[in-house]
Structure 1
Amino acid sequence: MKKWLVTILSVTMAILLLASTISWRVEKHYCLGHLMDIALFTAAQDCGMNMVFQSDDSSEHLQDSNSCCDDETIITEGQDDLVVHDNDFDLAQQFFIIAYAYSYFNLFGNGLKVSPSFDHYPPPIIVKDIHVLDEVYLI
């Protein structure tokens, strides 16, 4: 139960970190008041009904202010002020950390397993219970 709880909490925090640092962009294209296209992270496709007029005296295009199409863009900026801290240890701190780790790991013994010398010989076969035969009971 505890392992599942820790796993769920870790995944939730990772998703929260990812969602807070990404910039989101949602574009919507309306045509005659009806929603035609929604796009996430990219530009929405238009319906092709934008009214573009060409003026008589120049070759530049002028868009009608009373166009039937409308675009709406929602932009949410992500967090860009993440700072990586560089923790440099001087020589005395490095010696302390190495000595502390060495003493901590060797605190409970060196972990060498001494094998007994009689491993190659089998124990004697017990035929009868000697405690019962001698009537010696531990109280």
Structure 2
Amino acid sequence: MVKQFLHKGFCAVLALLVLISTVSFTVEKHYCGDVLIDVSLFADANKCGMETQGQDLEKTTKKSCCKDEVHVVEGQDKLLKSSNNLEFQQQLFITSFVYTFYNLFESLPKQTIPHKDYSPPKLTTNILVLDQVFLI
């Protein structure tokens, strides 16, 4: 039972590892001056509203104090492994190895327990021994 539970848990962890390694996402940060205003995953970060005022002032001489940083974390996309690039001799070796390894182990015969479905007999007490009455 424990072995089966550990096997299922290990498989689930490996599946999550594959899922996490293939997901890509972006982290977007919006700074107003040196102050972090908003951090967002998967979507645009909320702006502080200074950009609209900065656009009017850009025409004169001032630069906008706001700054956006975008960090892109890309997952891998090369998980597909195929046997098409193997030569015939390599494929023959792999199939023969798997076949011999599979047939290396023999299954045990099924053991039958003949008294599995029978209930034990009811225990009766010996009244003479219980009362300690013995014939002399």
Deviations 1:84-135 (A, max 9, x none): 5267xxxxx9xxxxxx9xxx9xxx9xxxxxxxxxxxxxxxxxxxxxxxxxxx
1:72 matched to which residue of 2? 69
- 1:72-111 matches, within 5 Å, as 72-85=69-82
Superimposed CA distance per residue, residues 45-77 of structure 1 (whole angstroms, 9 cap, x where no aligned partner): 111111113648xxxxx9x54x22111111111
1:1-139 to structure 2, matched below 5 A, reads 1-50=2-51, 51-53=54-56, 55=59, 65=63, 67-85=64-82
Q: Structure 1, unaligned stretches of length 5 or more?
A: 57-61, 88-92, 94-99, 109-139
- C-alpha distance in structure 2 between counterparts of 1:49 and 1:2, whole Å: 60
Inter-partner Cα distance in structure 1 for 2:43 and 2:12: 27
Amino acid across the alignment from 2:66: C
Partners of 1:18 and 1:86 in 2: how far apart? 23
Distance 1:16 1:39, change over 3 A: same
Counterparts of 1:38 and 1:72 in 2: how far apart (Å)?
10
Matches of 1:7 and 1:29, distance apart in 2 = 43
Give the unaligned 5+ runs of structure 2. Answer: 85-91, 93-98, 108-136
Shift, 1:83, TM fit: 2.8
Larger radius of gyration: 1
More helix by share: 2
Count residues with an aligned counterpart.
88
Q: Which moved more, 1:75-84 or 1:23-32?
A: 75-84
Give me the whole-angstrom Cα distance separating, in 2, the residues matched to 1:37 and 1:23.
20
CA distance in 1, matches of 2:37, 2:59: 29
